[in-house]
Chain A
Amino acid sequence: MEDSDIIGLYWDRDQSAITETASKYGGFLWNISWNILRSHGDAEECVNDTYLRTWNAIPPARPTAFQAWLGRIARNLSLDRWKQARAQKRGGDGMEVLLGELDACVPAPHGTEAALEDRELAALISAFLRKLPAESRIIFLRRYWYGQELRDIAGGLGCGQGKVKSSLFRTRKALRAYLEQEGVSI
């Protein structure tokens, strides 16, 4: 079923919208939650919550990129749950590793940086990513948007893990330089 048709079901308050969403994007959303949480139960709850949020948000929302829109909800919910689990000292440490890597992208403070709103900062990063070679951009987002393991990224792109590692290293370094150049504080 086309995304627009699924969204139409939400607008009609037809509960089959949930079933259609689960059928088309259930695995995709699970992918995201699992990569962050590494817990069956927590990932299941996050995906369920994603459907609930979607049901409550549409209408009035009418997302133009439904897949990314859903993924964003699942990602945020998963991060929230990961923080909760971390506070309770549950779950794995994969997310710690991932966030630690991202710390390397954060510019050193100089005192003159602009404290941008999240959306402004995201727009800057989008512009940065567009300048990258497609493969570097995809590797970066698969790691830090979708939370994929290095081996899974390598497997998906048909290359070695070493190539993925070096690409991520270069992109992190370039992003840090870019943000410093833009005078951004995170």
Chain B
Amino acid sequence: MNGERLFRVLGLVDDELVVEAAPGFQAGTAVRRGPWRRALAAAACLAVLCCAGFAWRTVSAPRGDGTTAGGAAPGAENGTGSSLGGDPGDAPQENEPLSVEGTTFMSYAGPVFPLTTAEADTALTAERKTVWDFAPGSYHDGTPRQWGATVTDSYTLINPTEEAVTVTALYPFAGSFDELADLRPAVTVDGVETDPHLYAGAYAGGFQGVWQSGGQNGDQLDGTTLNLASPSSWTDYKALLESGDYLQQALEDAPALDIPVTAYEFTDFEAPAEYDAATQAIEFTIDRSKTTVLTYGFNGGAWNEETGWQQHSYFVPDGVRREPEKKVLVVLGEDIGDYTLSGYENGGCEREIDGVSCTVTRRETTLDAVLDELCRYYYDDYAGWQYGMTDRAVEAVPYPLFRRAAAELLVQYGILAGDSAVDRYSDGRLDDLISESTSQQRVLYLAVPVTVPAGESVDITFQLWKAPSFDYGCSGSENAGLQGYDLVTQLASTLTFTEQRASLVNTETIQIARQNLGFDLENSVTEVTLDLETEHYYLEIRQKS
């Protein structure tokens, strides 16, 4: 294609011309997630929003996802007013009072959830106090800036009955495995530190299509399910959690995948040294109604719908490029039968070369066993260098939970999902599925066994670093620099709350831009009582300049 060659050639024009034409760009500083992988993910969204006019919308734009906050204002203890905030585009004012709506941020960190229990009817009542501490320097990057908040979410469980009540208290928090080292709450029961068991819910988001120019109607999504759609508002979490099914699944055993499969493992790679990207390909012909092929470690694939011909290929690892050395084809259903191995000069698989070889080992096993092997390989050998997860970050992820998450993803959205299968995983690449299990947003639960003696109470405190919701710095958004925090009062909780309060500490470096809580920093109103009928509270702050 001529235009294509010209496009490639244009890539080689002189550097100073390229730099001169670079679109206005500001390095992303508002990265809330952990090193490398998460930073890249944040930068990804940043660029999307900078350059594509991606249809993230603030509250000032039309939207139908119900992301506004509850309208009722709580009673501030010192009796603050309830006038509305100004236009979100206005310059932030010190202690701007109550607004009826919160902002829909580009990156949504999820609310602080209320404690619940594994038991449906506990007879316990509860009082709650949530404290946001904005002391600078709490972010794990060690910089002295204020970014995020240390949240102390304290509960007093009261047993009004005449018998002791034993429950499993469950504390939900939003996050992903690769940021677990930073987000996992510390727990104390009556002042004594405890090490609760961790449960992980399945991927909390959904999938959506690719944004395309929609002519008069503006940008529109196509009908595919190729992209992740992480929860973008508290109402997404409400929809996810309020039935109780999500928690129930998290507490159940992992899906069993004792499905017979045939695994072909590729080892002992060799290729001529003069080729930078020598490629090994395997070709075979199958009846796709009877055979499904999953891959791990393969870089390319092609197939012919009519003939059933399939080709899978990988760059031959040379010990330097750090391509994953694990290469496995997993065959479900009828075996692939005869196959052909070929070597190519590069991943295009166009010019065949001699000297590319490998050993193929065939074995019959189960999908469970193969998935376990691949997850273990990824967890032990691959995650660290590929995604910049530190040893601390990797060690914070309980392997069984990670393994379970990969299985859930395969069953809920992968090729085992039937009608629920999404386009994103339709090519059967287990690499994608396994790696995304580490970074997808989910709700995790800390389980704390608690016995409350008759007529007495027990204090449970959860302390966690909470990332803010935010708009990306170079997006041009009027909300860049704004940090959003929110809280839900009773969502999916089994407890009967009699009181909830919220307070702020170390507020010297911040100013409130929007809120529906009733804080008034100028008049030292830093603690408020929440209206339990209000489902959702939000607080949006900026650093003082």
Q: Using CB atoms and an 8 Å cutoff, list the residues of chain A in contact with chain B.
A: 15, 18-19, 22-31, 33-35, 38-41, 43-44, 47-48, 51-52, 56, 64-65, 67-69, 71-72, 75-76, 79-80, 84, 87-88, 90-94, 98-103, 105-106, 118-119, 121-123, 125-126, 129-130, 134, 137-138, 140-142, 144-146, 148-149, 151-152, 156, 186
Q: Please tell me if the beta carbons of B322 and A26 are within 8 angstroms of each other in the complex.
A: no
Nearest CB in chain B: distance from A103 CB, A: 4
Per a CB cutoff under 8 Å, which of B36, B210, B322, B424 touches A38?
A: B210
Query: Number of B residues whose C-beta is below 8 Å from A?
Result: 70
Q: Please tell me if the beta carbons of A28 and B212 are within 8 angstroms of each other in the complex.
A: no
- Nearest 7 CB-CB pairings of A with B: A30-B47, A26-B43, A65-B15, A122-B12, A141-B21, A99-B3, A102-B3
B28 within 8 A of A: yes
Nearest CB in chain B: distance from A30 CB, A: 3
* Docked pose: A166 CA to B132 CA in angstroms: 54
8 sampled A-B residue pairs with Cβ under 8 A: A26-B42, A27-B47, A28-B47, A103-B1, A141-B17, A148-B51, A152-B51, A152-B53
Q: Please tell me if the beta carbons of B47 and A34 are within 8 angstroms of each other in the complex.
A: yes
- B25 neighbours in A (Cβ, 8 Å): 27-28, 31
Residue with the highest number of chain A CB atoms closer than 10 Å, among B43, B45, B213, B423: B43
- B10 neighbours in A (Cβ, 8 Å): 102, 122, 125, 141, 144-145
Q: Using CB atoms and an 8 Å cutoff, list the residues of chain B in contact with chain A.
A: 1-29, 31, 35-36, 39-48, 50-53, 210-213, 222, 224, 226-228, 300, 302, 320-322, 347, 385-386, 388, 423-424, 427, 432, 472, 474
Q: Please tell me if the beta carbons of A145 and B13 are within 8 angstroms of each other in the complex.
A: yes
Q: Please tell me if the beta carbons of A106 and B2 are within 8 angstroms of each other in the complex.
A: yes
Q: Please tell me if the beta carbons of A103 and B228 are within 8 angstroms of each other in the complex.
A: no
Q: Please tell me if the beta carbons of B9 and A156 are within 8 angstroms of each other in the complex.
A: no
Q: Please tell me if the beta carbons of B8 and A118 are within 8 angstroms of each other in the complex.
A: yes
- A87 neighbours in B (Cβ, 8 Å): 302
Q: Please tell me if the beta carbons of B47 and A29 are within 8 angstroms of each other in the complex.
A: yes
**Contacts A27-B27, A145-B21 known; 7 new A-B pairs at CB < 8 A:** A23-B31, A30-B51, A31-B23, A40-B227, A79-B4, A99-B7, A142-B21
Per a CB cutoff under 8 Å, which of A18, A28, A84, A105 touches B22?
A: A28
Q: Please tell me if the beta carbons of A138 and B20 are within 8 angstroms of each other in the complex.
A: yes
Residue with the highest number of chain A CB atoms closer than 10 Å, among B23, B28, B46: B23
* Docked pose: A165 CA to B322 CA in angstroms: 44
Q: Please tell me if the beta carbons of B44 and A100 are within 8 angstroms of each other in the complex.
A: no
- B53 neighbours in A (Cβ, 8 Å): 149, 151-152
Q: Please tell me if the beta carbons of B3 and A100 are within 8 angstroms of each other in the complex.
A: yes
Per a CB cutoff under 8 Å, which of A33, A64, A102 touches B6?
A: A102
Known pairs A24-B27, A27-B50, A137-B17; A67 contacts B44 (CB<8 A)? no
* Docked pose: A71 CA to B8 CA in angstroms: 13
Nearest CB in chain B: distance from A60 CB, A: 12
Known pairs A38-B210, A99-B7; A152 contacts B43 (CB<8 A)? no
Residue with the highest number of chain A CB atoms closer than 10 Å, among B29, B36, B45: B36
Known pairs A15-B388, A44-B41, A122-B10; A152 contacts B17 (CB<8 A)? no
